[in-house]
Structure 1
Amino acid sequence: MTMSQPECVNSIAGQRGLPQWAWARLLSFFCVALLGVFCLTPALAGSFDLVLLIDESGSMMTTDPHGARKDAAELFLRLCNAKHRVEIAGFATDVRLLTNLQPMGPGATRDAALKEAKQILSSGQRTDIEKALRSARDVLMRSSSPDTTKVVLLMTDGEVDLKEKSDPQKKGLEEKSIEAIRGPLLSKYLQDNIKLYTIAFSPESDFNLLSSIANATGGMCARGDKEDELQKLFLRLFEEIEKPQTAPIKDGAVLIDGSVHEATFLIAHTPQETSRVSVTPPDGTAVNRAAAERMKNYSWFSSPSFDLVTVTDPKGGKWKIEPHGKDADSRVMLITDMTLELEDFAATSRGDEQTSLLAALKSKGTTVDAPEILGVLTMEATLTARTRTVIPLIDDGKHNDGPANNGLFGGAYRTPSAEGTYDLEIIARTPTLERRIVRSVRVSQPWFRFQLEREAIAPGEELPLKATVDREKITAGLMPEFIASVRQPDGQLSEIPLAQALDNLYSASFDSTKTSGAYRATITGSVKLADGKVLRDTIGPLEFMVRAAVGPVAVPVVTPPPTPAPTPVPAVTPAPAHHETPEPTPTPEVVKVVEKVGTPMWVWISILVACLTIIGLLVYLVTHRSGSARVAAPSMEALRERASQIRQEDYDTTEALPAA
């Protein structure tokens, strides 16, 4: 039997094109992709791979008798999210793995890690810091991708301890281990871009060693000797590693704006105040732990010294926390599109030098410069050393901030003269939005400096490596030794000793430059002092390129520590006085103004590309389906004639059948 024209049309369409459900799914995919373009933002929280090393030596029975480091480790893990991979290990004579490197977002994996963290011991015989650091590096190099931030956090109450005091080999072995930590091992940390953070938890800990190796990698050393300080130390290091956006707290009140997707309230309290802990949103209804358990957007964890309350999509307005007697120890961490950022911040500098500071409020990575916002936006920084120094930040074109009213707020401060690590707090405020960030300022006075003469050379060309000794620290007559380590693009490591060229200058030439690419160099210096002690430090890395086409001008490069002194900044002048007008205009809401003027160009380009893609798909779909149906549609007369033919064919078939 022949096929009718409508059947033929449907059949051809089915053979030549996709079914309707497939087209619907494909179109849905592109619509979702377009929606994703609208929602694209830079990463709102950092990601890292971290190995947490906890001292399990027997001395911890005395310095931490109640296991406060277990609670501190728990706080650290609970502050982490799915972007943070953490491994926990205890160390003493050997390294004892407690958990593998795995994401620490809420769920069964983190719950298991928290359980294992409670199994930290205090029964080890020795303290092998070198072995612990080597083990942590091996984990990160084996398990982390090259572009992942790699971190080691080591907490100890002691110093390198490898043998019994009566063992004649004790002194020699421990000195050799310390030299290895300060030299080859630290050089590997620098070459591999691993940041080291340390906690020296007792007066007996080797603070000199722990702080010098942490600072050399761009990390930080925190110091304390009381159990109730441990959680504060871990919290401060988490802030330094993660660099979260926070909101300032004053008298228990905190301002949350409409750009905040998630707020985590860390409420510090005494054990007696646990039952009083609550958060109060702008509507005035206090929420305690019992009430939060019935609310989908609340997550609550309690401990004797802190509560951790996470609220998704929090309402904009003034929130309050109770109790608020420990505002300095409490935090409100935010996941938000509106961030406070520092520009070209030098974390390491020499002492007693003028340093510029530049900050900006950004929306999805773009500096906010809308006049409506700049008119009500204020910023200031506070440097805490022996005294607190307040640094006004002003956007007027007179404070190293570029043109006036460009959204960059500048100021200057003088670094402390004493070596050490100091906290720098920056706060931005408008009537509807507040942000706070904390950064560390490291003051370093190294006894030598490492220098490359050029930042780029041609293949096969030699590159001079130079170390300059500070003779105010290392007097004439003392003979330092320097060894440079250079990692080539293929991963091969070359070691080059430097020879004395002048009284305070040591140099060598690196000639293994046949392969084009990026090279990284570190240098280890050691000198035996008059009292017999050996001073050993490693600094770097400095990076240089080997490429075929190199400009004729040599560019000197010196990288910290320490940072070269910046151009002197004029003294900070006070901001112009604000004169009230008879009829003040309403304060603009930052988020709404930014939504109108702050969309980056790359977002618009992405939207345009997505729209063109969808339009092209629809055009193709229409032309394809219309092409499939180009067979002329039958008229009503033709359909009636065909129906009559079918009835006649059926009648003829019936007549031809034999009788039953």
Structure 2
Amino acid sequence: MRILCLLLFFWIGLSPLQAEEEVRVLIDVSGSMKQTDPNNLRVPALKLLLELLPPETRAGVWLFADDVETLIDPAPVDERWKQDAERLSARIHSNGRHTHVERALAAVTRDWQAGDAAGNRHLVLLTDGMVDVEGDSAADKASRERILTRLLPAFQRAGIHLYTIALSDQADHPLLKQLAVATDGWNEVAESAGELHRTFLRIFKKAVPRDTLPLRDNRFQVDTSVKEFTLLVFRRPDSPPTELVKPSGQHWTFQDHPDSVRWHQEGNYDLITVASPMPGEWHVIAKVDPDNQVMIVTDLKLKVSPLPNYLLSDESLTVTAELTERGQRITRENFLRLVDFQLQRAGDASPPWTLEPARDPGVFSYTLEPLAEPGTYTFRLTAESKTF
């Protein structure tokens, strides 16, 4: 059996069709983190993930080692919640003795397991070790077995998607991958703590993707439908300060920008939020980075049917998309005939596939043939029109 991993990235105001989202994050604080994350880069990486969460999301964060500690209580994400989360993130440590994964997973999902499988439930697990409970190797083995035979089926029944991150070669990679695949989540391996920012970003884009704009050569076009944008710019240690240039030509920096602009800066990234942005072409003065992106709040959205993260190599996949305005599907033929919906596989020089009108008015679809080779595939779906 061969498994294909799928990543679908969206451009031009696009988001998947989804119910209420809830994200819970479990951070390993066992003593081994002193070696794998000596500079505690879990803190800025977690801050990035939490800053990116859209306002309608519920979220919470827990720390675990021997026991489980609530860092940030689950609650709707708003400005106050983000401020509290940023402050409390500084409490992440590396002082625990054991890595009791079973206890942690059970504790933070207890209410999910007891209730109905309503909404979209995402659990992010970051660890650098094996299952390590108090006792001997037999106790560790028994705990690992209970995770697979008791907790995993419960997660599947409760509709919980696990996104697992292994931060060292010592982590239990087979266990983490099995949990992710079996719950249609996602599995990542961070070779070093310095990669955590980008790892968390990829997890975020899989769990709760936001509407985005194309960023080409550090330039992006904003129209009147965009109410707000958040720009993420990664920086290298030797990079000069990031600058953001308005369509009018005015330059903003971290040290010099209007009070209405929120500019959050960490050691290797800038996160800039601009409300009611001026229409036109914006320009970022920084090194081009493939992970830089522009997330937006807009009434015009391109929504995509939910897609699995993993496919068998003999499975086909139908992708459907629709444009909405203020939550309502656009069905006006005189508008839609000017829109091109296209799907393309990253790294493929072949012409993109065109989505064709489906049976339902305003819905477009394309069926991908089975992908023969196992591996991770990235697809980009775009909606392009001269009218927006």
TM-score, with structure 2 as normaliser: 0.86
> How far 1:427 sits from its partner (Å)?
2.3
Q: Select the residue among 379, 382, 386 that pairs with 1:427.
A: 382
> How far 1:407 sits from its partner (Å)?
5.6
Give the structure 1 partner of residue 31 of structure 2: 58
CA contact (8 A) 1:63 1:225 kept: no
- Judge which range, 352-361 or 51-60, deviates more: 352-361
Check if 1:173 corresponds to 2:115. Answer: no
Query: How far apart, in 1, do the equivalents of 2:189 and 2:126 lie?
Result: 10
Give the secondary structure class of the aligned counterpart of 1:118.
helix
Query: How far apart, in 2, do the equivalents of 1:361 and 1:151 lie?
Result: 26
Give the secondary structure class of the aligned counterpart of 2:137.
helix
Are residues 43 and 416 of structure 1, via their aligned partners in 2, closer, same or farther at CA, if it must alter by over 3 Å? closer
Taking the TM superposition and a 5 Å limit, the aligned residue runs for 1:316-395 are 316-326=279-289, 328-343=290-305, 345-363=307-325, 364-375=327-338, 377-384=339-346, 388=348, 392-395=352-355
Check if 1:154 corresponds to 2:125. Answer: yes
Give the structure 2 partner of residue 651 of structure 1: none
Give the secondary structure class of the aligned counterpart of 1:284.
coil
Check if 1:100 corresponds to 2:64. Answer: no
Give the secondary structure class of the aligned counterpart of 1:147.
coil
Check if 1:270 corresponds to 2:236. Answer: yes
CA contact (8 A) 1:46 1:242 kept: no
Are residues 357 and 193 of structure 1, via their aligned partners in 2, closer, same or farther at CA, if it must alter by over 3 Å? closer
Query: How far apart, in 2, do the equivalents of 1:211 and 1:47 lie?
Result: 26
Query: How far apart, in 2, do the equivalents of 1:286 and 1:44 lie?
Result: 37
Q: Select the residue among 152, 172, 179 that pairs with 1:186.
A: 152
> How far 1:156 sits from its partner (Å)?
0.6
- Which amino acid in structure 2 is aligned with residue 392 of structure 1? P
Provide structure 2 residue ranges, at least 5 long, that are not aligned to the other structure: 1-14
Are residues 286 and 47 of structure 1, via their aligned partners in 2, closer, same or farther at CA, if it must alter by over 3 Å? farther
Query: How far apart, in 2, do the equivalents of 1:416 and 1:317 lie?
Result: 43
Check if 1:304 corresponds to 2:247. Answer: no
Are residues 344 and 193 of structure 1, via their aligned partners in 2, closer, same or farther at CA, if it must alter by over 3 Å? closer
Are residues 182 and 270 of structure 1, via their aligned partners in 2, closer, same or farther at CA, if it must alter by over 3 Å? same
> How far 1:103 sits from its partner (Å)?
3.1
- Which amino acid in structure 1 is aligned with residue 168 of structure 2? S
Give the secondary structure class of the aligned counterpart of 1:187.
helix
CA contact (8 A) 1:244 1:333 kept: yes
CA contact (8 A) 2:342 2:382 kept: yes
Give the structure 2 partner of residue 73 of structure 1: 46
Provide structure 1 residue ranges, at least 5 long, that are not aligned to the other structure: 1-41, 164-168, 432-588, 591-660
Query: How far apart, in 2, do the equivalents of 1:145 and 1:356 lie?
Result: 28
Are residues 357 and 44 of structure 1, via their aligned partners in 2, closer, same or farther at CA, if it must alter by over 3 Å? closer
> How far 1:291 sits from its partner (Å)?
3.7
CA contact (8 A) 1:345 1:358 kept: no
Are residues 47 and 206 of structure 1, via their aligned partners in 2, closer, same or farther at CA, if it must alter by over 3 Å? same
Give the structure 2 partner of residue 138 of structure 1: 110
Bigger fraction of residues in strand: 2
- Judge which range, 191-200 or 359-368, deviates more: 359-368
CA contact (8 A) 2:66 2:133 kept: yes
CA contact (8 A) 2:320 2:363 kept: no
Give the secondary structure class of the aligned counterpart of 1:423.
strand
> How far 1:361 sits from its partner (Å)?
3.0
Taking the TM superposition and a 5 Å limit, the aligned residue runs for 1:141-540 are 147-163=118-134, 170-273=136-239, 275=241, 277-294=242-259, 296=260, 298-326=261-289, 328-343=290-305, 345-363=307-325, 364-375=327-338, 377-384=339-346, 388=348, 392-395=352-355, 401=358, 408-410=364-366, 412-418=368-374, 421-431=376-386
CA contact (8 A) 1:341 1:361 kept: yes
> How far 1:396 sits from its partner (Å)?
5.2
CA contact (8 A) 2:17 2:305 kept: no
Are residues 349 and 372 of structure 1, via their aligned partners in 2, closer, same or farther at CA, if it must alter by over 3 Å? same
Give the structure 1 partner of residue 9 of structure 2: none
- Which amino acid in structure 2 is aligned with residue 304 of structure 1? G
Q: Deviations over 1:94-134 (max 9, x none)?
A: 11222222333223x43232222111111222111111100
> How far 1:394 sits from its partner (Å)?
1.9
Give the secondary structure class of the aligned counterpart of 1:267.
strand
> How far 1:246 sits from its partner (Å)?
0.7
Are residues 45 and 181 of structure 1, via their aligned partners in 2, closer, same or farther at CA, if it must alter by over 3 Å? closer
> How many percent identity over aligned positions?
26
Give the secondary structure class of the aligned counterpart of 2:343.
strand
- Which amino acid in structure 2 is aligned with residue 283 of structure 1? S
Runs of 4+ with >6 A deviation: 42-46
> How far 1:56 sits from its partner (Å)?
0.9
Q: Deviations over 1:25-65 (max 9, x none)?
A: xxxxxxxxxxxxxxxxx999974333211111121111111
> How far 1:229 sits from its partner (Å)?
1.2
Are residues 278 and 197 of structure 1, via their aligned partners in 2, closer, same or farther at CA, if it must alter by over 3 Å? same
- Judge which range, 405-414 or 252-261, deviates more: 405-414
Root-mean-square deviation over aligned CA pairs: 2.9
> How far 1:356 sits from its partner (Å)?
3.5
- Which amino acid in structure 2 is aligned with residue 160 of structure 1? V
Q: Deviations over 1:441-492 (max 9, x none)?
A: xxxxxxxxxxxxxxxxxxxxxxxxxxxxxxxxxxxxxxxxxxxxxxxxxxxx
Are residues 217 and 313 of structure 1, via their aligned partners in 2, closer, same or farther at CA, if it must alter by over 3 Å? same
> How far 1:208 sits from its partner (Å)?
1.4
CA contact (8 A) 1:381 1:391 kept: no
Give the secondary structure class of the aligned counterpart of 2:91.
coil
- Which amino acid in structure 2 is aligned with residue 149 of structure 1? N
